[in-house]
Amino acid sequence: MPVPRFLACCAFLFAVLPLAAQPLPAEVEAALARARLPRDAVTLVVADADGKAPPRLSHRANVPVNPASIAKLATTFAALELLGPAFQWTTPVYLEGAVRDGTLHGNLYIKGQGDPKLVAERLWLLLRRVQGLGIRSVTGDIVLDRTAFETAPLHPGAFDGEPLRPYNAAPDALLLNFTALVMTFTPQGGQAQVHLEPPLAGLQLPANVPLVVGECNDWRGGLKADFTDPSRIRIAGGYPAACGERSWPLAYADPRSYAARAVGGLWQQMGGSLAGQVRDGRVPAGLAPAFEAQSPALAEIVRDINKFSNNVMAQQLFLTLSLQRNGAGTLEGSREAMRQWWRERVGPADTPSFDNGSGLSREERITAQQLARLLQVAWNSPLMPELMSSLPVTGVDGTLRRSRGKGTGLAHLKTGSLRDVSGVAGYVHAASGKRYVLVAIVNHPQAAAARPAIEALIDWTARDF
């Protein structure tokens, strides 16, 4: 029997209208007091996932706040709906010239189209396929076409002054290995062998560093590494023998040259030769690809983005929305795609303020009520399993593997953390068998101190009432 129109309307109102001011759960109030955080620093919603009853808890739910990485919920669910969970990025490779006796007499082109996971091993496979065409030498250049995204150059330290942090990697149509390096130190004899992955053409690195006596505390600081010269990494200190083997992931100092260095270094390591250079350029019009490398499916990419809160992958996905829609990936084009999708799927009222899709932003704004409504729409979508399985599980994996609350395994929640921001949003499975939407976001200079209060709210939500 169809639901009467007025009942359907009422169910929607239950989902979107907050209750009047109400007391917070006692354990949450106590945790906030211990952290010396005021109630007006917190915005909260706990509501039935199906949206058919009034919220169980609503506190400052219509106040726009900075969500930090919780913003990835909107990006990933919109992408699942707009692109489909089986969507794959392609990276076409073109040959300009004839192949004779193992040599390409001309240029080799690689065209980036936004693949968020073109990591070192997949780049190796791409170049291995080139060699599978009978090419060991290139007389011309290897040309990298990065024109699919139209974004302004961004200094990697612009957001927080930490240019070597991998989370600050900028989006790129041909994003290779997240523009990241991994230095591995392995004690052997009286020295620590230094291994760099992936190999970068023209980058000098000491083959080993001296071992030193002492505890394995600030071993990175003890190395006294200098990364200011993009062509040379200097290490003036030593490596503690007590550390055993350790790895140090970091962003490359000159991200614009990373792709060329990575392709050149790996091609050389694989035994390939190049008479010209690796450079940026465009694929000539009318040239057909020799083959196309394919990414993992979007559903897998979404799990990587949300489980581990990968910022640059989220930004790649965000720009892909306008690339697929308009033929060029731009921030404003993707913001408009998100606004239109939100109005059609989540609600015609005010839309959130979208920025770059990752939450690594000081400008992004959304309300707890908007997030709750988004999660309710997702719960009732056939794509709910893909989104939910991408969220970290409390005390089990992803960014919540170290969660100390009592609700281990009972919640799938996207985390968000910036300076002055801390929060979670997602689904909680209660002892009664009910599934709740939970949103908790703190905007305050001491936001990090709110974690016990957030864990108390998760535990409270998971209990029967």
| Per-residue pLDDT tens digits for 51-97 | 999 999 999 999 999 999 999 999 999 999 999 999 999 999 999 99
Looking at the fold, whether 207 and 122 belong to one and the same domain comes out as yes
Q: What percent of the chain has pLDDT over 90?
A: 87
Question: Which range of residues forms the domain containing residue 245?
Answer: 89-295
pLDDT at site 160: 57
Looking at the fold, whether 162 and 208 belong to one and the same domain comes out as yes
Looking at the fold, whether 406 and 442 belong to one and the same domain comes out as yes
Which of 246, 278, 295 is the last residue in one of the domains? 295
Separation CA 168–CA 312 (nearest Å): 8
Strand-pair category, 273-274 with 137-138: parallel
CB 137 within 8 A of CB 273: yes
| Per-residue pLDDT tens digits for 363-388 | 999 999 999 999 999 999 999 999 99
User: What tokens were used for 102?
Assistant: 């193992």
Mean pLDDT of 280-294: 98
pLDDT at site 366: 98
pLDDT at site 405: 72
Looking at the fold, whether 261 and 209 belong to one and the same domain comes out as yes
Kindly report the CATH number assigned to the domain that includes residue 80. 3.40.710.10
Kindly report the CATH number assigned to the domain that includes residue 170. 3.50.80.20
Give the pLDDT band (50/70/90) at residue 349: confident
For residue 146, pLDDT beyond 90: yes
pLDDT at site 71: 98
Looking at the fold, whether 144 and 205 belong to one and the same domain comes out as yes
Which of 261, 277, 295 is the last residue in one of the domains? 295
Looking at the fold, whether 387 and 330 belong to one and the same domain comes out as yes
Looking at the fold, whether 120 and 238 belong to one and the same domain comes out as yes
Give the pLDDT band (50/70/90) at residue 19: very low
For residue 175, pLDDT beyond 80: yes
Looking at the fold, whether 305 and 423 belong to one and the same domain comes out as yes
Looking at the fold, whether 93 and 74 belong to one and the same domain comes out as no
Longest dimension (CA), the chain: 79
Give the pLDDT band (50/70/90) at residue 184: very high
Give the pLDDT band (50/70/90) at residue 161: low
| Per-residue pLDDT tens digits for 100-145 | 999 999 999 999 999 999 999 999 999 999 999 999 999 999 999 9
User: What tokens were used for 360?
Assistant: 């690594």
Looking at the fold, whether 344 and 383 belong to one and the same domain comes out as yes
Looking at the fold, whether 389 and 305 belong to one and the same domain comes out as yes
| Per-residue pLDDT tens digits for 231-264 | 999 999 999 999 999 999 999 989 999 999 999 9
Mean pLDDT of 304-317: 97
Total domains, the chain: 2
| Per-residue pLDDT tens digits for 393-414 | 999 999 999 887 777 899 999 9
Q: How many CB atoms lie within 10 A of CB 376?
A: 22
For residue 159, pLDDT beyond 80: no
Which of these ranges, 60-64, 149-153, 164-168, 245-249, has the smallest mean pLDDT? Answer: 164-168
pLDDT at site 408: 86
pLDDT at site 166: 64
For residue 222, pLDDT beyond 60: yes
For residue 1, pLDDT beyond 60: no
Looking at the fold, whether 280 and 139 belong to one and the same domain comes out as yes
Give the pLDDT band (50/70/90) at residue 11: very low
Which of 249, 276, 295 is the last residue in one of the domains? 295
Mean pLDDT of 18-36: 85
Per the prediction, the chain carries an average pLDDT of 92
